[in-house]
Amino acid sequence: MKSRLWPLLLLILTFSVSAEDTATTQDNYGYYGLEPEIVTNYISSGRRLGYIRVGVELMLKDVNTMELVEHHAPLIRASVVEILGQQSAEKIKSLAGREEIRRECYDVVNTLLEQETGQELIANLLFTKYLYD
């Protein structure tokens, strides 16, 4: 009976040690949402202006940098508003264009934050709401 328990005990100990190693190597991601949502105009056809309403969430590489990102939230918001305002109606309304805009926002925000803080803080930028007219 005792000889049967040793392999089981060894398996349990091995699993618990590997689970602890996995837990310590996991990233410490956090999320910061820009509040309120961004509402701005974009270039539309003719004399009519279109508007877009976007919810933006920043995926932080480290949750401990939340306060630093919050400090630079006005800079982040201004850059996203500027990018959205320069887009054409076709780009705003297409799925491929939406992804291009999201990627451009991510690149610009990441570059600005790196210039301001000296470190790369953002892992991703997500549009949680995307409404246009």
Which pLDDT tens digit goes with each residue over 99-132?
999 999 999 999 999 999 999 999 999 999 999 9
Q: Is residue 10 part of a domain?
A: no
Q: Is residue 12 part of a domain?
A: no
Give the model's pLDDT for residue 24.
Answer: 47
Q: What is the mean pLDDT of residues 48-72?
A: 96
Q: Which of 70, 40, 73 is nearest to 54 (CA)?
A: 40
Q: Which residue shows structure tokens 């089981």?
A: 8
Q: What is the mean pLDDT of residues 46-51?
A: 84
The count of domains in the chain is 1
As given in the structure block, the two tokens for residue 35 are: 């509040």
State the DSSP code for 88. B
Q: Is residue 36 part of a domain?
A: yes
What is the spatial distance between Cα 22 and Cα 14, in angstroms, rounded to a whole number?
12
Q: Which of 31, 22, 23, 26 is nearest to 121 (CA)?
A: 31
Q: Is residue 19 part of a domain?
A: no
Tell me the average pLDDT of the chain. 86
Q: Is residue 18 part of a domain?
A: no
pLDDT band at 66 (very low <50, low <70, confident <90, very high): very high
User: Does the pLDDT value for residue 18 go beyond 50?
Assistant: no
Q: What is the mean pLDDT of residues 65-88?
A: 96
Give the model's pLDDT for residue 23.
Answer: 47
Q: What is the CATH number of the domain that holds 97?
A: 3.30.479.30
Q: Is residue 7 part of a domain?
A: no
Q: Is residue 14 part of a domain?
A: no
Structural domain of 124: 30-132
Q: Is residue 86 part of a domain?
A: yes
Q: Which residues pair with 39 in a beta bridge?
A: 53
pTM (global) more than 0.85? no
Give the model's pLDDT for residue 19.
Answer: 45
